[in-house]
Structure 1
C-alpha cells in the first residue's frame, strides 16, 4: 500500500542530518512503501544520502538552511516558521505535500508552529503530546499530556481521553481501551474538583466512547500493564514521564555498577546476560521513541532530540502507522459519537453555577 509522504525535519535533534537520514533510511529498509520529503540544507542532505541509495530513490529534498535551535523560544520560532526546516516540514502537511511531519527539534517550538499552522480539530480545545511507555503487560501504555499544556481544565482532560483512546485502538488493537486519570489515589474522593469532574463525565460517556473507564490510577501503577491510556495535565505528565525515565536509567546504572564491583559479580553478569539484555532493550527509550501531537488537523510526531538512528526509525514507523490507521479521522468519529457538544463540561465556577 502506498502511504502519503512523510516530511522529515532533517536538521532537528542533537546530531541533526546524519542521524535523521540514517533513521529514515532504516525505516525505509524495514518498510519499502515509505516515501519522504527531506527538509533542510540540500548540500548536507545529499551528502548523507550517498550512503543510502534506497532512501535517495524514494525521497525529495526541500531546501532551507534556516534551523530552529534548542535555545530558541517558541515566540522566536513562530516568527521564522516559514523559513526553518521545522516550519516548512509542518507547512508541507498543511499544503498536502506530505501526510505527516517528524522532527527531533525544540519541543516548544514544534508545538507552537504545529498549532498555529495546522490548527486544532473541531471539538478539541488544545492538542496534547502523547507517547508510548513500556509496561509489564503485553501492550505499551499511552500517556498524555506530556508537556504541551501545563494547566488543564476538566474539558481538556476529557478531550485528551478521547484522543488517547483513538490512538490506543491503533497502538494496542483493543476495541475498548482501558482509560484512567492520573491522581494521588484511586478513591473517588481523591484529587481536585477538576479531576473528579472529568472522571464523572468519562464515567457517564464511557459506553458512547467505547472505552473501559474505572476512575483513577497512581503514578506507581501506570506501567503495570492493566491500563491502556493514562490521562493527565502536561505539568504532572511531564514530571511523571521524567521520573519514569530517570528511574529506568538509575536501575540500569545500578546494575552496571553492581556487575562491575567484583569478579564474582562479573561472572554473575555473564550468566544473567540474556536477562539483562532483555531489560536493557525494554528500558531503552529509542525503542519507544515517537511522541504524537494529537488533536491537530494533521499528524506531527516528536522524536527525542537524543535519539539514535533506531529511535528515529521508530518515530517514523509511529508516524506511518498513524497515517495508515487514519487516527485523525478516528478522533473526529469518536467526538461525533458522543453527541458533539453534549459531553462538554463548563470551564469555570460561574459556568457550573
Structure 2
C-alpha cells in the first residue's frame, strides 16, 4: 500500500542537516514503506545523503534557502514562512504533496505557521501540543496541552481529551484509553469552573472511545495508571518542565553520589544494569516527537537538541499517526459528542462555588 510522504524540515534543530538526515535514514529502516520530502539547502542535504543510499533512493529534495531561527518570534516567522524550510515543509502538507511534516525548529514559529496554513479541523477550536511521557506502567502517557494554549475553557479541554484519546489508541494500542483531567485534587469539588465543567461533559458523553475517570494530580502523571492527561497549555508546560527537571535532578544526584568515594564507585559497578535502565527510561530522545493535534494535517515537533535516534523516534511517531489515520479517528469521536454537548453544563448550587 502506498503511504503519504513525510516532509522533513532538514534545517531545523540545533545541529541542522546532519542529524535530521541521519535520523530520517534510521527511521526509514524501520518504516520502509514511507518516502520522504527533504526540505532545505539542496547542496547540504545531498552531502548528508551520501552515506545513506537507502534514504536517498526514497527521497525527493525541495530546495529552499531560508531558515527559521530559534530567536524568531512567531509573527516574524509567519512573514518569512514561504521562503523557509519550515514553511515549505508545512506547505507540502497543505498542498497534499506530503501527509505530515516533521521539524526540530522553533516551536512557537512551527505552531503559528502550521495553524495559519493548515487551519483547525472541523469541530476543533484550537490545536493542542501533545507528547508521550515515560511512566512506571507498561505504556507511556499522552499529555496535552503542553504550551500551545495558555488559557482554555471547558470546550477546549473536552476537545483535547478526544484528541488525546485518539492519539493514545495509536501510541499505546489501548482501545479505551484511561483519560483524566489534571487538577489540584481528585475530588469533584476541586479545581476551576472550566476543569469541573469539562469533567461533567466527559462523564455525560456516550459512546466515546475512552474511559474517563475524573481528575489526577501532577505527582501521579507518571505512575502508569492513566493513559491521557488533559490540561491547559500553561499548566501543562509547567508540569512538563517540572517532570523533566526532576528527572535531570535524580540523574545528576545519582551521578554525584556514585562518584563521591571509592565505595560509591564500586556500588555503581554493581548497580550499573539498574542505572543504565534508568538512564534509558529518562532519556528524552527515547520519547521524542510532540504532535500538534487538531489541524488538517499532521505536524510533529522534534526536540531541537535531539540526536539521530531522537529524530528517528519523532519520524516513527509521524509514521504511526499516518498509518493509523489519527485525524479520521478524531473526527469520528467529535461526531459522537456533537456540538450541542460541548456547551458548558449548568452549575450546581452549593458545589460549583466550593473551592479547594
- TM-score interval (norm. to shorter): over 0.9
Alignment map for 1:107-256 (pairs within 5 Å): 107-205=107-205, 207-256=206-255
SS across alignment from 2:341: coil
Q: Distance in 2 between matches of 1:221 and 1:133?
A: 12
Q: Distance in 2 between matches of 1:342 and 1:142?
A: 27
SS across alignment from 1:343: helix
Contact 1:6 1:37 in 2 (8 A): yes
Contact 2:150 2:232 in 1 (8 A): yes
Matching residue of 2:351: none
Please identify runs of 4+ aligned residues in structure 1 that moved more than 6 A.
none
Matching residue of 1:343: 341
Tell me how far 1:80 sits from its aligned partner.
Answer: 1.1
SS across alignment from 2:61: strand
Q: Distance in 2 between matches of 1:181 and 1:10?
A: 36
User: Deviations along 1:33-68, whole A, 9 cap, x unmatched?
Assistant: 221000000011011111111111111000001000
User: Deviations along 1:111-152, whole A, 9 cap, x unmatched?
Assistant: 000000000000000000000000000000000000000110
User: Deviations along 1:161-206, whole A, 9 cap, x unmatched?
Assistant: 000011111111111111000011111111011111011111111x
SS across alignment from 1:81: helix
Matching residue of 2:314: 315
Matching residue of 1:14: 14
Q: Distance in 2 between matches of 1:311 and 1:12?
A: 14
In structure 2, runs of 5+ residues without a counterpart are 348-356
TM-score normalised per structure 1? 0.96
Contact 2:24 2:55 in 1 (8 A): yes
Tell me how large the CA RMSD over aligned residues is.
1.3
In structure 1, runs of 5+ residues without a counterpart are none
Contact 1:155 1:347 in 2 (8 A): no
TM-score normalised per structure 2? 0.96
